[in-house]
Every structure is written in structure tokens, then in C-alpha cells.
């Protein structure tokens, strides 16, 4: 499973971790939760795993 993959709003979170939108908003998710809409706008967005290296 690639950590560089993007996930869409409504998809199931595949593993615990911190994810961010293309605009830089970050949220922590747990395996099995659903990716939410953008916390700022409510729009559907793509999420990606935050880099561990910062």
C-alpha cells in the first residue's frame, strides 16, 4: 500500500495516521473511519498521508 496515494472524501481510512488536504489542512484519522469533507469549506477533497519527515 502506497503512502503517497490520495484518498477521496467518503473513502475508508486504510491505516491510522495524520492526513492532509491539498490546501494543507491536517487531521488525524484511525483505520476504518471515513475521510471527511474539507474542514474549512465542506467541499469534497483529496487527502494524502502527511510525510513523516515533515
Q: Give me the residue spans of the domains in the chain.
A: 6-49
Q: What is the pLDDT along the chain (54 residues), one digit of tens a residue?
A: 455 799 999 999 999 999 999 888 899 999 999 999 987 788 999 999 997 554
The C-alpha cell that represents 51 in the structure block: 510525510
d(Cα 34, Cα 10) in Å, to the nearest integer?
A: 5
Rounded to two decimals, the pTM is 0.82
pLDDT for the residue numbered 40: 79
pLDDT of residue 3: 57
- What does 17-48 look like in DSSP terms, one character per residue? EEEEETT--EEEE-TT-BPPPPTTT----EEE
Chain length of the chain: 54
Amino acid at each position: 500500500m502506497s503512502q503517497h496515494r490520495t484518498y477521496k472524501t467518503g473513502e475508508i481510512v486504510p491505516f491510522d495516521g495524520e492526513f492532509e488536504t491539498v490546501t494543507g489542512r491536517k487531521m488525524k484519522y484511525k483505520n476504518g473511519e471515513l475521510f471527511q469533507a474539507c474542514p474549512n469549506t465542506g467541499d469534497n477533497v483529496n487527502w494524502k498521508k502527511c510525510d513523516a519527515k515533515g
